[in-house]
Structure 1
């Protein structure tokens, strides 16, 4: 039996630097003072801190697959996987969902390229009810022995405004995800390998999960 060492981490505002050419003018204006003092030195220190912990995963072997959220763009993910690759002597690839979040925080899947083939398919589902939620992001990757692994990355609506006030938004996303899973089984077969990962902003006993 092949073991897959899979992890998830909310990287908590892994932003690019304020004057980055990769950021849109809208996002730069929207973030405003939130980025005050955020420069290349601080970004590089955050990358170093994250890498120091990630390198301890799997008894020092590092992750096979690492799902992350709250990343701004491809550049910051490239910085992270470069640091991870150097520390762990591994070749990591990634795929990112460029969503519509007002703060520019997206989800991404990092994977060991020696153990998994290129992604076959990526698909995003955007759910709207008063406000746009962060996308559900589906990635198909092939394992080394040719099996398909379907990863669905989640970053559900936060509890901003209170747990009960915000709960309907998480339930709404959960209902859409449940239907989506049913459709995958219909299209891929009942033995499809589906992995749900993410920051659900709820606990296992909350309505959205149950």
Structure 2
């Protein structure tokens, strides 16, 4: 009987991963196994609807050094043998980072594999086509973005504006919709923050797209300062995003998406998300994914967080005609097997074993044309 029970459990378990209550999703058993978060992998996008997706792709680097950027970790091993390279690696703060900088072989094979699994994760949307609007974080440059686009995505609109981030990562946008005017990158005007911390940040990408009926949708792509930086940096980043939105016409269709980097512990203490979005934004996971633990999992604190978010202006719901956001469509896009670790969380990319995708799970939501 036990053998039969185990066999049945083995067969049905994959179908229930991601469909658990918050308690069961967060609990660990003695073998450190836990079940991942809820996702709507069965959501069917209607023929003429558009899909909007946000995805932190975790270090999408090529293996060439970009002048002025700290991308030494992402080089093939033969290029890591100089004294200058080793000296720079030894200055890194964490042992793990030093090891990666010295020993990782970010070869052509690794780059191609990373591109392939990221593309597969994107193409789980719309039966292999991918979303119509895609915001990406942690993309090194236009070259690697172009190579990603060639992995079966074929987006005609591709936007990446090189920023000042010393690490060399940027926010990007890809879409099947045409761009209206030029995209912009808005540096965040931090106040009271030391220069070294400011250099470890990304600006806010702004692009306006033309929807099929002629309406215009303004998209802000963000990657706010990392959680190890002071809370006030994320507060100031949010404030700048809100200033940018307030400069637009009140009836403008606006969405903001990306990695906001506000961990659960910080938000519970400071109430950042609710304070900064009140009246200006609708927060996707707060209205339609209340049972979902988050898009990232931080093992030292045994804590899930929605570091990644999709926001939209209230006008995208309060309309009798035109394009609106379908709340019911809000979902995780984590059905691709390589995205889920053995313990049920986001499966960070592992170069040595050519496994995983990213330490973040993407979010998606549909837009529908009301006539």
Q: TM-score range by the shorter chain?
A: 0.7 to 0.9
Equivalent positions of 1:1-210 (< 5 A) are: 3-17=49-63, 19-20=64-65, 23-24=66-67, 26-28=69-71, 33=89, 34=100, 36-85=104-153, 90-112=154-176, 116-127=177-188, 128=190, 129-130=193-194, 131-132=197-198, 133-160=201-228, 166-184=230-248, 189-202=249-262, 206=267, 207-210=271-274
Q: Could you say which structure has the higher strand fraction?
A: 1
C-alpha deviation, 1:96, in angstroms: 0.5
- 1:126-165 CA-to-partner distances (Å, cap 9, x unmatched) read 123323231011011112221111000010111126xxxx
TM-score, normalised via structure 2 length: 0.48
- The alignment yields a C-alpha RMSD, in angstroms, of 2.4
Aligned equivalents of 2:159 and 2:186: distance in 1? 16
Q: Point out where structure 2 has 5 or more consecutive residues left out of the alignment.
A: 1-45, 75-84, 90-99, 275-371
TM-score, normalised via structure 1 length: 0.81
Pair member with larger Rg: 2
1:30–1:103 Cα contact (<8 Å) kept: no
Cα distance change on mapping 1:52 and 1:178 into 2, 3 Å: same
2:71–2:167 Cα contact (<8 Å) kept: no
Q: Secondary structure at the match of 2:218?
A: strand
Q: Secondary structure at the match of 2:183?
A: strand
Cα distance change on mapping 1:63 and 1:106 into 2, 3 Å: same
Aligned equivalents of 2:149 and 2:128: distance in 1? 16
Relative contact order: is structure 1 or structure 2 higher (C-alpha 8 Å, sep ≥ 6)? 2
Aligned equivalents of 1:108 and 1:153: distance in 2? 7
Aligned equivalents of 1:94 and 1:134: distance in 2? 18
Q: Point out where structure 1 has 5 or more consecutive residues left out of the alignment.
A: none
1:81–1:93 Cα contact (<8 Å) kept: no
C-alpha deviation, 1:110, in angstroms: 0.7
